Structure 1
Amino acid sequence: MDAIIEALAKAAGLDKALAAFPDDVKAAAAQALNNAHGVQVPTDPAAEPWPPMRAGTGL
């Protein structure tokens, strides 16, 4: 397994998963890396991807 993926898994608290299911952790990391291009980073840090939720509006 790639040392960076292993370090990231440990930093995320996935020590038990890494020990018990290393192939699954590797597959999940590969899937995440292959889909990273689909994530749109907002240009305005204050912008929300959807309107804030408010109770009672639009009902």
Structure 2
Amino acid sequence: MDPVVVALAKAAGLEKALAEFPDDVAVAAAQAMNNAGVVHMPSDPAAEPWPPMRAGLGL
């Protein structure tokens, strides 16, 4: 497995998943890396990509 993926999984606290399901961790990492280009950073850092999550709004 890619050492970067192992390091990221450990940094995320996924040691148990890495030990028990290394194939699943590798597939999830590959899927995340393949979709990273789809996520666009907002031009305004204060902008939220979705409406604020407050109870009662829009209900």
TM-score range, shorter chain: 0.7 to 0.9
What TM-score results when the alignment is normalised by the length of structure 2?
Answer: 0.84
Number of residue pairs aligned between Structure 1 and Structure 2: 59
Aligned match of 1:23: 23
Task: Give the residue type in structure 2 aligned to 1:24.
Answer: D
**RMSD of the alignment, in Å?**
1.6
User: Once superposed, which parts of structure 1, at least 4 consecutive aligned residues long, lie more than 2 Å away?
Assistant: 50-59
Identical pairs, percent: 75
Structure 2 gap ranges (5+): none
What TM-score results when the alignment is normalised by the length of structure 1?
Answer: 0.84
1:57 CA displacement: 4.8
